[in-house]
Chain A
Amino acid sequence: MIFGRVAIEQSHRLPTGGEIDRLAPLPFRFDGKAYRGYAGDTLASALLANGVTVVGRSFKYHRPRGVLSAGPEEPNALVELRGGGRKEPNSRATMIELFAGLEATSQHRWPSLALDIMELNDLASRFLVAGFYYKTFMGFPGWRFYEKRIRAAAGMGSGTVEWDPDRYEHMNTHCDVLVAGGGPSGLAAALMAGRAGARVILVEETDGLGGRLRSERETIDDKPAMGWVAKTRAELADMDEVRVLTRTTAFGCYDDNMVGALERVADHLAAPPEHMARQRLWHIRAGRVILATGAIERPLVFGGNDRPGVMLAGAVRSYLHRFAVTPGKRAVVVANNDDGYRTALDLARAGVEVMQVLDTRPAGAGAWRERAVAAGLDVMQRAAVVNAYGRMGVVGCDVATLDGHGGVGDTRYVPCDLIAASGGWSPSVHLHSHGDGKADWDDGIAAFVPGANRLGHVSVGAARGRFGLAEALSDGLKAGAEAAKACGFAIGAHPDTPITDEIATAPLKAIWSIPGPTDRTVKRFVDLQDDVTIDDIALAHREGFVSVEHLKRYTTLGMGTDQGKTSNITGHALLAEARGQPIPTVGTTRFRPPYTPVAMAAFAGAERGLHFSPVRRSAMHDWHAEHGAVFVEAGAWLRPQYYLRPGVTKAKAVMDRAIETEVRAVRSKVGLVDVSTLGKIDIQGPDAAEFLNRVYANGFKALPVGKARYGLMLREDGIVDDDGTTSRLGDTHYLMTTTTAHAAKVLADLEWYLQVVWPDLDVRVTSVTEQWAAMALAGPKAREVLAAAADHGTAVSNDALPYLGVINGSIAGVPVRLFRISFSGELGYEVNVPADWGTSVWEALIAAGEPHGITPYGMEAMGILRIEKGHVTHAELDGRITLDDVGMGRMASSKKWFVGRGMLDKPAFIDPERPKLVGLVPVDGKTRIPAGAILVADPATPPPVPKLGHVASSAYLSPTVGHPIALGFLARGRDRLGETVWAVFPLRNLSVQVKVVEPCFVDPEGSRLHV
């Protein structure tokens, strides 16, 4: 019978109670071994139920470690969860919800958890003190040698190189009131705000509501408190404007009340259902933020306090009540506050043998103590555990009285397999601190509590150091009401705070470390994960690392996956003791998001793979794809790089041939290229001409209607920014084109000048890039093709459409704009077509061009054509180039002011030594001149070699001139025409002797343009 077997297997499971579903047993594996737990378990509770004590190994000394906590603060019980692309190292067993078939393995040990040879580090621990590595490994054979070994020993879990198959996504939402934390205070706050009609979001990290109530036995209005939780949950569920998200961690507070929250949508399942995200990252923009994040219990520092079986007292109660697990059979309880008694009573009630209850506080009365005594527990006051024994699990401990002056009385050995310890509770001030909130020290609870908060975040309940249930509830009700009110909602009657049956607690008395045996092999840990001991803190202090931030970085205190949730305050307090200063003077280290670690993929959301960044497609994209285009990206656009004939593969030679074919077609017949990607800006208004005249370096005022002109824009610092043609379509109407890459920037700049700099100019600018598909028809036969394609009434003769002329026309019934401009140096036209008709017109031109051998061409051919003509692009205009550098200094109008003109006379800009644009050809007539080569006088010079310039763009073969050509910048280049220099490419061991020529290789007179 299954149930019978499970009961026996789960040796530490209580027969009744807990939030687990005993009808749903779940098989799982840890380190290959099969176990069973129940739905509702975490991996940690299921392991404890099965009597598994050792779950992980510590970072530095590889000491065996068990489960310390029952929450996200867990420093010890880290495992590798799942496998393949879903493997997740460093997963906290205390937060992993059990599912059928769960597989986890221990990490950071070799060969096995039980036998880990790196445990030798523990023996060598005397040498491996804080910061030892700064003092050695400096000599032979070099740091890299040691580093390899250290790196292999460091790290915790191992990652994977497989890709994660799961989906991630973001979700945005706005609310009036955000409540972080679904404990009693958070629920009360949400309830009040919700009742007022506010839009409320409550996020709760765990799988259910109730917070600490799930782990305690408390009552509200004389009924079990979890009943109140259920009732509240139901009421919230009925409110349309309230959203409760469980399994959702508020991980960071950012500016203006933006809270980041991670919802683990499917982590409690073996795999996410299809189309569902594994995790969803919420951007919550809140009017008011209420932090009801509770508090985190601190361990006590005593000898061997890291042994498996030493647990937080509150976690012991969680395992008892929430999971019906007894983490041990014989317990010692030690605390500096009343939680010891509470825990001992609960343990005893669950049938655990309580060997000893130790209260580190001086003798005194207290309701809790009296209860414990009345229950027959063996209570010792002013006493503590001083040393725990047991390598793979606690077997016993020494207990002793404390003399109050750092000494101990006689020790007595107490056998036990569980030590429940409580050093008090620290409010979770993390989120409060992210938003610039200050933390104030509260001596009463020996912890930091939220102080002033500029953003108006309000902390309530345990998060504010109010540890009583009634306090938490009333705090929450009040904050919820106030928040709703602040958002403009009317508040109804304030309900009475529910009544609880709490027992008054006696004050805590901090004790930061328990004096222990002088034996140096006994370690007392402050930070369990990173193995920071009190000796490390003393050493850091001795060496002058006396700021908390130095202490942290020198000892790694609080730098583990738990970020010191259970250790920071103790460590800082110990430093304060060593410095002889009060804790608030010493302070605390800075809290940073995320509150608990967040997967990179969750941050990235859906922006992965091809959707990492949107691509843009031209109107003729599908045509290109159907006709063998190989695409390349240019400024988010996919553009044909070249076209392959059917059946031809993409080998380099083929590619070169394709390009050559395309170039030849343009020079000898006619080609068609998609230039839709060029930016197009519609400029209209009475001051449009004046405006253009100011933003372009060359004059634009005299441009007649129906004409286009090439223009250059400078940045304010005088450097060339962008170029393109601008056409005057009407009296006050212009169309500007920009380069593909700069289109967005140029538009933003124009808007800048109009809105901010010259608000007196009456001009409107709009991007029409997407409205118009654009294609350039170029080649000696271009006019014939255009004439054949054009509709009746559209005349394209040299008279009707002269060089740089602009007319409206129609092709295939589509109204088009025709521009007689050319980038290739051939007779050319640009045709602008409303985008939805782009393909129709393109096809019409192809059809009309068929008899003339029309060839579509791509970016590569266009690149060669423009290099042959010496036209510059971004390869030349790299953000450091002046007009003069590219030989266009004369274009700058001297008659007017334009952007950048004030900078042109800077000494460096008029220095005759500046590299100038030149053409380059190989002296041997055949060797390629690779782009990126550097121009030097003599390739044999040893470094550092004086550099004369560089090769900016290169055509490995200009089909038109029959040899390689290139454009480059050469110091005093204009004076060196005819000279030879060397283009060197030491990365590939190449050097080419090149002749300096004019930067135009084809038709320098431009006669082909004007036919």
Chain B
Amino acid sequence: MIRIPCPHCGPRDHAEFSYAGDATKIRPADPDAATAADWHDYVYFRDNPRGPHMEYWHHTQGCRAYVKVLRDTSTHEVLAAGMPGDTLEAGR
């Protein structure tokens, strides 16, 4: 069980969360300025790294917050966690 340190609830089983994927994807902020290619990239492409991966987890069965997590995809180790707006660094 991966233990995800929810910034609100503390460490919880990952089973309480729903995985919400890549947190490096930024939705085009100004839709009028966004090209088809921008949307295409946002919706379909993923870096999918082996190693530290910035991702969102929704604390669905908890406080219902989206939590930003830096997690190593090769070990499942959680390196850092915070709120969606936070910039995360390993070890925090």
Query: Which A residues are closer than 8 A to B by beta carbons?
Result: 254-256, 258, 283, 285, 436, 454, 716-717, 748, 751-752, 755-757, 759, 897, 901-903, 905-906
Contacts and interface: CB of A to CB of B under 8 A. Distances in A.
Contacts of A717: 43-44
Contacts of A436: 75
Contacts of B43: 716-717, 903
Nearest to A896: B31
A752 B66 contact: yes
Contacts of A454: 75, 77
B3 interface: yes
8 contacts: A255-B3, A256-B1, A283-B1, A716-B42, A717-B43, A751-B64, A902-B36, A902-B38
B46 interface: no
Interface residues of B, number: 28
B1 A757 contact: no
Contact of B1 (A258, A716, A759, A902): A258
Interface in B24-69: 27-28, 31-32, 34, 36, 38-39, 42-44, 56, 58, 60, 64-66
A756 B29 CA distance: 12
Contacts of A716: 42-43
Given A755-B66, A759-B85, 20 more contacts: A255-B3, A256-B1, A256-B2, A258-B1, A258-B3, A436-B75, A716-B42, A717-B43, A717-B44, A748-B58, A748-B60, A751-B58, A752-B58, A752-B66, A755-B84, A756-B66, A757-B27, A897-B32, A902-B34, A902-B36
Given A716-B42, A748-B58, A905 B84 contact: no
Contact of A256 (B3, B34, B58, B60): B3
Nearest to A259: B1
Nearest to A898: B31
Contacts, number: 54
A258 B76 CA distance: 13
Interface string B1-30: 111000000000000001010000001100
Contacts of A756: 56, 66, 84
Contacts of A255: 1-3, 76-77
A-B residue pairs, 10 tightest by C-beta: A902-B39, A258-B1, A897-B31, A256-B3, A756-B84, A255-B76, A755-B66, A255-B2, A716-B43, A757-B27
A857 B32 CA distance: 48
Contacts of B28: 902
A454 B84 CA distance: 28
B58 to A, nearest CB: 6
A251 B78 CA distance: 24
Nearest to A745: B18
Contacts of B85: 759
A635 to B, nearest CB: 16
B39 A903 contact: yes
A901 B31 CA distance: 9
Contacts of A751: 58, 64, 66
Contacts of A256: 1-3, 76, 78
Interface of B: 1-3, 18, 20, 27-28, 31-32, 34, 36, 38-39, 42-44, 56, 58, 60, 64-66, 75-78, 84-85
Given A254-B1, A256-B2, A752 B20 contact: yes
A428 B12 CA distance: 30
Contacts of A901: 31
B64 A759 contact: no
A748 B76 contact: no
Contacts of B77: 255, 454
A589 B29 CA distance: 50
A51 to B, nearest CB: 48
Given A255-B76, A436-B75, A285 B56 contact: no
B19 to A, nearest CB: 11
Contacts of B39: 902-903
A73 to B, nearest CB: 28
Contacts of A755: 65-66, 84
A953 B42 CA distance: 34
Contacts of A752: 20, 58, 66
A913 B47 CA distance: 35
Contacts of A258: 1, 3
Nearest to A755: B66
Contacts of B31: 897, 901-902
Nearest to B76: A255
A716 B84 CA distance: 19
A897 B29 CA distance: 11
A690 to B, nearest CB: 14
Contacts of B58: 748, 751-752
A306 to B, nearest CB: 41
Contacts of A906: 36
A283 B3 CA distance: 13
Nearest to A765: B64
Contacts of B75: 436, 454
B3 A285 contact: yes
Contacts of B60: 748
A901 B34 CA distance: 11
Contacts of A759: 84-85
Nearest to A754: B66
A176 to B, nearest CB: 14
Nearest to A454: B75
Nearest to B20: A752
B75 to A, nearest CB: 6
A902 B85 CA distance: 24
Contacts of A254: 1
Interface centre among B43, B78, B85 (most CB of A within 10 A): B43
Nearest to B4: A256
Contacts of A757: 27
A758 to B, nearest CB: 9
Given A454-B75, A756-B66, A903-B39, A748 B1 contact: no
A842 B2 CA distance: 46
A756 B20 CA distance: 11
A365 B10 CA distance: 61
A258 B75 CA distance: 14
A903 B66 CA distance: 25
Contacts of B84: 755-756, 759
B16 to A, nearest CB: 12
Nearest to A747: B64
Contacts of A283: 1
Interface centre among B18, B39, B60 (most CB of A within 10 A): B39
A243 to B, nearest CB: 20
Contact of A748 (B18, B38, B44): B18
Nearest to A748: B58
B27 to A, nearest CB: 5
Nearest to A257: B3
B66 A905 contact: no
A255 B75 CA distance: 8
A903 B56 CA distance: 24
A403 to B, nearest CB: 50
B17 to A, nearest CB: 11
A340 to B, nearest CB: 43
A756 B64 CA distance: 12
Nearest to B30: A897
A903 B1 CA distance: 37
Nearest to A283: B1
A285 B14 CA distance: 13
Contacts of B76: 255-256
A285 B20 contact: no
A716 B40 CA distance: 10
A903 B28 CA distance: 13
A663 B60 CA distance: 39
Contacts of B18: 748
A668 to B, nearest CB: 45
Nearest to A756: B84
A897 B39 CA distance: 13
Contacts of B34: 902
A897 B32 CA distance: 8
Contacts of B36: 902, 905-906
